[in-house]
Amino acid sequence: MTMRLDYLSIFPGYFDVLDISLLGKAVDNGLVEVHAHDLRDWTHDRHRTVDDTPCGGGAGMVMKPDPWGEAFDGIIGIEPDPSVHVIFPTPSGIPFTQSAAQELSTVERVVFCCGRYEGIDHRVIDYARTMWTVHELSLGDYVLNGGEVAALAITEAVVRLIPGFMGNPESLAEESFSPGQERLLEYPLFTRPVSWRGMDVPEVLMSGHHGRIAEWRREESLLLTRDRRPDLTD
């Protein structure tokens, strides 16, 4: 299966980065195809205007619905299709999680709608919900200037789960937040040299005793999780 990823943004250059690293490899081997679009290509005035003042007053500007609607018509089409997943990154969205990444890694088409300014006219989201499967997702409880960085983060989390993307799929199963894994943070990692600036790799990891190593790693994960993410231990 090839996953098609579309990105609608006034800064489509953000997505040039998808041509490099592992994701670039996924594009080369046909696992994903990436299309970035400039929302301003669907404006018709000299200034290629995409924003206007908020109805009801308030600070900042709101993204006009017209360019979004015309871009949807051109990029996705005018017929409803629930197999198309449209993602609106937004601070008011549902927290994006590994399980959401897992679910999205099985779909064939994802369209990211990257807002800017104060956000997108809500009727755009309401319209999209009549046509496609819509996800309003948040990366976390902090404020970004737009949806592009979130779209990149969600893309990486999703694409790495596509069968055939990772050389060693077993490694995915052991990661934090993977299905079946207890919700534990990953234990501390070490590699050679064994001694570095007066600090040594924990002896147990050099013992070759797999049982003791597994026990040490689990204990470290439990301690770390209890300390940093008590919410995961509920």
Positions at the binding site for S-adenosyl-L-methionine:
115, 139-144
Beta bridge partners, 180, equal: none
Q: Which is nearer to ligand JD8, 62 or 205 (CB)?
A: 62
- SS3 state of residue 16: helix
Record the tokens describing residue 190, joined without a space: 């070490």
C-alpha distances (whole Å) from 196 to each of 30, 157, 193, 201, 205 are 42, 33, 6, 8, 15
Beta bridge partners, 87, equal: 112, 135
CB of 116 to ligand JD8, least distance (A): 5
Q: Which is nearer to ligand JD8, 9 or 225 (CB)?
A: 9
CB of 169 to ligand JD8, least distance (A): 28
Q: Which is nearer to ligand JD8, 67 or 147 (CB)?
A: 147
Residue 49's region, left for phi above 0, alpha for psi from -120 to 50, else beta, is beta
CB of 115 to ligand JD8, least distance (A): 3
Q: Which residues are annotated as a binding site?
A: 115, 139-144
Q: Which is nearer to ligand JD8, 61 or 204 (CB)?
A: 61
Torsion of CA 182, 1, 13, 8, to 10 degrees: -90
Binding site for ligand JD8 (CB under 6 A): 89-91, 93, 115-116, 118-119, 138-140, 142-147, 150
| Strand bridging mode 51-52 / 62-63 | antiparallel
